[in-house]
């Protein structure tokens, strides 16, 4: 039973008409707190979204863009794409693309990943596109989240790596071939020498002109055999796996050997002039000779490429620097290196040569070799005037 | 003198004051008020008049008229559901005590939840109610002024009294024009109710100078105009009765009532008799019962009702009660309890229930249920 009302209840001094003031105050305070919290979360999420380095866009099933992230503006420019059709914004096309990853994701309600190549501005880019459906509370897709990762560089590097691997296989094959050729070459050389040695015995029994021709032919055979041997030896020494054993090496000797190897290639480039300025009495360095030859060869091949279609001069110079160092310099008068590329030339696979001509591995290899020898590489280049690469070794102690 | 309290709503009074209903609701934050009225007022055209007023302020509305005389708990429940369904805001009541009390009940339930029974008694409402704008169509009930709501408990067959300052409506718009279409006998019954309010609040144990002033003014106006009202319901008379009713409402909302209303609530709950018809039967008997405990005040009332000076207070008081009885008789009102209650055997039950009524607290003479039964027997 409820307590019956008392006189004081009827007078009701302590009771007033109840207002919404306190409730409203509390509600306002709650709303304020939740607004602050929501704003904090929004900023957190925005920071996460801004941290994504891929182009991100949310589109409707019809392909209208509803929002994009910061990276979008970096890649596609400053005007807002919101409300426009994705195929117009991304590809400047008049109709939807086929196949459309967003459409597939929407229809299958599953993530769809595809790679597409198209032109943005004037640059052809390779995008990895991930379309994932954004689902409503019933799990049905209502929007599509598009992530576009620019994989242009990765794909280029991958192509170059594939090429480099192919080249290295070719190199191994060449070494095998060289080895196989060496044996018959030795036989040819041996027998040719034997013929030459026995030729005077039968000289008087031969007609005069035939005898002199034979002598001349034998001379040519022997010379050419010697040249073949040189090439074969060069190939063998380059393809031999790095032994890693460091010995005292005369830099001038390495230069001579390498120049011998490259000379026949230089015959294709009669407009290129090769000079050697080797300092006499050069102190030895501690090195693996095949590595040093490889390093020099790479520098020389780059110099040749730099002057592929112009007259020019390559100077190989050795010398002493101070009391501690021995310097090997390759200087050319070729095209030089663009300032913007200067920082990247030692990166693996970085190249300015057309695909198939350079692997982008040459200077990277030089750098690795120099490091293994505790040497540094100095580069000096002016675009259009030429470049100089200096490898600074420590003197052997 | 004890510390007293006097609280009333904002009151807008005058012929044609209804035109402010929309503006008032809007000021209280209305976009879609809920209008509570009854079929009688709809048929008289007042509901559509009110809709016009709301429309003029650009308001939407929803309409609820499932209200009978002595509004029921079930109707309050339906009204609260309707309010929630319609997403209504301000509650506008147009009508007599029934639509206004129903509107209060609906306001309690929508503001506080649960069922209306949870709030029976005094000051059990702890959460704010929707804003309320009331337009009384009777000059009597005082519900547009008071802190009371009377709702019938259909299961227990009694009237629940709900008391809370928060039941005082925000704005009371009193337009005497509304009385013009009222059936004559209802106008008279309401005036008698107002008179009962005035008399009981005047002799109440918690009457204060602020309420006594209103009580006496109401008695004076009713004594002067009620006989005329019986002849012709001119707008001037109706306006005077409205003023009296409003004054009586201000008095009883703050000073409460007495044994007559305790019994009236009990009878209304059990037999569904019209509230305004009970007082002509019971009020004189209650006044006699209270005589010794409120002699001076009853004498004052007698002086006003008879318009004469009397030698002693007792003669004045008794002359006043007799004058009141003859007035009721001349108005053709019921004056015996047997005309209202079918079965005399039920009187003890009625009185036991009335003894629990909050109104009895302020009766100048404490009364047991047996005392109440004696009053009823006298009035039988």
Domain ranges (residues) in chain B? 10-178, 183-379
- Comparing CA positions, the residue from A147, A159, A154, A172 lying closest to residue A59 is A147
| Cross-chain residue pair A7–B361, CB shorter than 8 Å | yes
Facing B165 at nearest CB: one of A4, A15, A23: A15
Pick A15's closest partner by Cβ from B164, B170, B358.
Answer: B164
Q: Answer whether A15 sits within 8 Å of B3, measured CB to CB.
A: no
B10-178 maps to CATH 3.30.565.10: no
pLDDT at A1: 46
Q: Cβ(B67)–Cβ(B102) under 8 Å?
A: yes
Q: Which residue of A has its CA nearest to B211?
A: A11
Alpha helices in A240-332 (DSSP H): 251-266, 289-306
Question: Per DSSP, what are the bridge partners of residue B122?
Answer: B163
Kindly give, in sequence order, each residue whose CB lies less than 8 Å from that of residue A304, ignoring residues fewer than 6 positions away. A262, A265, A266, A269, A272, A314
Residue B124 to residue A2: CA distance in whole angstroms: 10
pLDDT at residue B287 tops 90 = yes
Instruction: Give the pLDDT confidence score for residue B62 in this predicted structure.
Output: 95
Helices (H), chain B: 21-27, 39-43, 46-56, 73-86, 97-112, 184-203, 209-231, 235-255, 259-271, 275-290, 295-306, 313-330, 347-355, 369-379
For A2, which of B3, B121, B147 is closest by C-beta distance? B121
- B29 close contact with A: CB closer than 8 A: no
Residue B227 CB coordination number (10 Å): 13
Segments in chain A below pLDDT 50: 1
Mean pLDDT, residues B232-242: 89
**What pLDDT is attached to residue A2?**
60
The chain B residue lying nearest A21, using CA atoms, is: B128
Count other Cβ atoms within 10 Å, centred on residue B118.
15
Query: CB-CB: which of B129, B161, B361 is closest to A18?
Result: B129
Nearest to B192 by CA among B328, B288, B376: B328
Distance from CA of B310 to the nearest CA of A (A): 34
Residue of A nearest to B2 (CA): A11
At B45-104, the pLDDT tens digits run: 999 999 999 999 999 999 999 888 888 999 999 999 999 999 999 999 999 889 999 999
Interface contact A18-B121, CB threshold 8 A = no
Cβ-defined contact of A10 to B125 (cutoff 8 Å): no
Contacts 24+ apart (CB under 8 A), B46-52: B46/B94, B46/B137, B46/B178, B46/B181, B47/B94, B49/B18, B50/B18, B50/B21, B50/B92, B50/B94, B50/B135
Cβ of A227: how many Cβ atoms within 10 Å?
Answer: 12
| A12 to chain B: closest CA residue | B165
Angle between helices B295-306 and B184-203 (to 10 degrees): 140
How far is it, in rounded angstroms, from Cα B75 to Cα B78? 5
Q: What is the pLDDT of residue B368?
A: 93
Nearest to A17 among B5, B126, B166 (CB): B166
- Stated as kind and residue range, the H or E segment containing B174 is strand B171-174
Check pLDDT > 90 for residue B301.
yes
Which among A7, A10, A18 has the least Cβ separation from residue B166? A18
What band does B284 get if pLDDT is binned at 50, 70 and 90? very high
Q: Provide CB contacts within 8 A for B74, sequence distance 6+.
A: B154
**Residue B356 touches chain A, beta carbons under 8 Å:** yes
Q: Give the list of residues 6+ apart from residue B55 with CB closer than 8 angstroms, or none.
A: B22
- DSSP run (H or E) holding B159: strand B158-163
Query: In this structure, what DSSP letter does residue A85 have?
Result: B
Helix (H) / strand (E) containing A208: helix A208-239
CA distance A180 to A121: 54
Instruction: Count CB-CB contacts under 10 A for residue B175.
Output: 25
How much is the pLDDT for B8?
Answer: 92
Listed residue (A94, A107, A155, A102) closest to A129, CA to CA: A102
- Residue A262: the pLDDT is 84
As a whole number of angstroms, the distance between CA B107 and CA B120 comes to: 14
Mean pLDDT within B221-225: 93
Ranges of beta strands (E only) in A64-164 are 65-68, 112-120, 123-135, 141-150
- On chain A, the residues whose CB falls within 8 A of the CB of B256 are 10
CA distances from A340 to A200, A334, A352, A386, B342 (A): 67, 17, 12, 16, 112
B7 close contact with A: CB closer than 8 A:
yes
pLDDT value, residue A360: 67
Q: How far is A1 from chain B (nearest CA, A)?
A: 11
Give the DSSP letter of residue A48: H
Give pLDDT, residue A357: 64
Could you say which DSSP state residue A308 is in? T
Q: Which residues of B touch A9 (CB under 8 A)?
A: 121-123, 163, 358
Whether residue B318 is predicted with pLDDT greater than 70 in this model: the reply is: yes
Residues 202 to 241 of B: which have CB under 8 A from any A CB? Answer: 205-206
C-alpha span between A380 and A388 (Å, rounded): 5
Over residues A163-203, the pLDDT tens digits come to 777 767 777 777 788 888 888 888 998 999 998 888 888 88
The verdict on a CB contact (< 8 Å) between A12 and B125 is no
| Cα-trace Rg, chain B | 20
ipTM for the whole complex: 0.74
Closest residue in A to B251 (Cα–Cα): A11
CATH number for B183-379 (one of 2.40.30.10, 3.50.50.60, 1.20.20.10, 1.20.1090.10): it is 1.20.1090.10
Higher pLDDT, B351 or A7: B351
| Whole-model pTM over 0.80 | no
Whether B106 has a pLDDT exceeding 60, the answer reads: yes
B27, pLDDT greater than 50: yes
Question: Do B183-379 and B10-178 fall under one CATH topology?
Answer: no
Q: Are B206 and B364 in contact (CB under 8 A)?
A: no
């Amino acid at each position: 039973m409820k307590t019956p009302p008392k006189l004081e209840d009827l007078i009701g001094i302590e009771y007033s008409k109840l207002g919404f003031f306190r409730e409203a105050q509390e509600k306002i305070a709650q709303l304020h707190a939740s607004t602050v919290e929501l704003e904090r979360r929004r900023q957190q999420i925005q920071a996460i979204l801004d941290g994504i380095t891929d182009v991100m866009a949310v589109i409707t099933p019809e392909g209208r863009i509803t929002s994009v992230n910061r990276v979008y503006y970096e890649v596609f420019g400053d005007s807002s794409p919101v409300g426009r059709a994705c195929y117009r914004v991304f590809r400047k096309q008049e109709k939807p693309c086929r196949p459309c990853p967003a459409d597939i994701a929407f229809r299958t309600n599953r993530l769809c990943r595809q790679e597409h190549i198209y032109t943005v501005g004037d640059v052809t880019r390779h995008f990895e596109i991930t379309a994932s459906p954004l689902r409503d509370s019933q799990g049905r897709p209502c929007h599509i989240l598009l992530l576009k990762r620019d994989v242009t560089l990765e794909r280029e590097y991958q192509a170059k790596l594939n090429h480099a691997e192919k080249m290295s296989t070719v190199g191994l094959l060449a070494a095998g071939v060289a080895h196989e050729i060496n044996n018959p070459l030795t036989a040819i050389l041996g027998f040719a020498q034997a013929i030459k040695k026995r030729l005077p015995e039968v000289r008087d029994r031969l007609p005069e002109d035939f005898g002199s021709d034979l002598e001349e032919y034998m001379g040519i055979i022997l010379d050419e055999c010697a040249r073949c041997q040189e090439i074969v030896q060069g190939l063998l020494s380059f393809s031999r796996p790095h032994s890693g054993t460091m010995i005292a090496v005369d830099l001038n000797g390495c230069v001579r050997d390498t120049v011998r190897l490259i000379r026949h290639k230089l015959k294709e480039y009669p407009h290129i002039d090769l000079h050697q300025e080797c300092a006499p009495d050069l102190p030895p360095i501690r090195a693996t000779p095949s590595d040093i030859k490889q390093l020099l060869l790479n520098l020389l091949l780059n110099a040749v490429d730099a002057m592929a279609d112009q007259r020019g001069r390559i100077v190989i110079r050795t010398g002493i620097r101070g009391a501690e160092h021995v310097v090997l310099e390759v200087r050319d008068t070729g095209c030089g290196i663009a300032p913007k590329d200067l920082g990247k030339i030692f990166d693996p696979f970085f190249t300015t040569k057309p695909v198939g001509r350079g692997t982008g591995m040459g200077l990277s290899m030089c750098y690795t070799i120099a490091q293994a020898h505790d040497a540094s590489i100095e580069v000096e280049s002016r675009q259009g005037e030429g470049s100089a690469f200096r490898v600074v070794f420590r003197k052997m102690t | 003198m004890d510390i007293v309290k006097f609280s009333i709503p904002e009151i807008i009074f005058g012929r044609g004051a209804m035109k402010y209903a929309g503006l008032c609701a809007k000021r209280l934050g209305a976009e879609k008020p809920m209008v509570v009225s009854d079929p009688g007022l709809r048929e008289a055209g007042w509901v559509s008049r009110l809709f016009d007023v709301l429309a003029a302020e650009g308001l939407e509305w929803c309409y609820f008229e499932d209200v009978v005389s002595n509004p029921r708990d079930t109707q309050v429940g339906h009204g609260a559901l309707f309010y929630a369904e319609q997403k209504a805001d301000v509650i506008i009541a147009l009508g007599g005590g029934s639509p206004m009390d129903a509107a209060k009940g609906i306001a309690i339930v929508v503001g506080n939840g649960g069922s209306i029974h949870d709030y029976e008694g005094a000051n059990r409402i702890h959460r704010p109610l929707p804003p309320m704008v009331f337009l009384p169509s009777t000059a009597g009930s005082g519900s547009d002024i008071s802190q009371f709501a009377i709702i019938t408990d259909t299961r227990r067959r009694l009237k629940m009294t709900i008391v809370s300052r928060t039941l005082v409506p925000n704005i009371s718009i009193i337009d005497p024009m509304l009385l013009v279409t009222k059936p004559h006998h209802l106008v008279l019954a309401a005036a008698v109710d107002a008179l009962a309010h005035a008399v009981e609040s005047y002799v109440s144990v918690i009457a204060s100078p602020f309420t006594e002033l209103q009580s006496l003014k109401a008695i004076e106006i009713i004594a002067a105009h009620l006989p005329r009202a019986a002849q012709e319901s001119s707008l001037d008379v109706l306006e005077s009765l409205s003023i009296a009713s409003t004054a009586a409402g201000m008095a009883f909302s703050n000073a409460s009532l007495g044994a007559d209303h305790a019994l009236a609530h009990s009878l209304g709950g059990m037999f569904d008799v019209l509230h305004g018809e009970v007082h002509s039967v019971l009020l004189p008997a209650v006044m006699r019962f209270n005589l010794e405990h409120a002699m001076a005040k009853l004498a004052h009332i007698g002086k006003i009702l008879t318009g004469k000076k009397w030698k002693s207070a007792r003669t004045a008081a008794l002359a006043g009660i007799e004058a009141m009885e003859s007035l009721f008789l001349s108005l053709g009102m019921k004056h015996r309890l047997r005309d209202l209650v079918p079965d005399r055997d039920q009187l003890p039950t009625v009185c036991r229930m009335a003894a629990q009524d909050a109104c009895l607290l302020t009766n100048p003479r404490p009364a047991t249920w047996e005392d109440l039964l004696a009053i009823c027997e006298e009035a039988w």
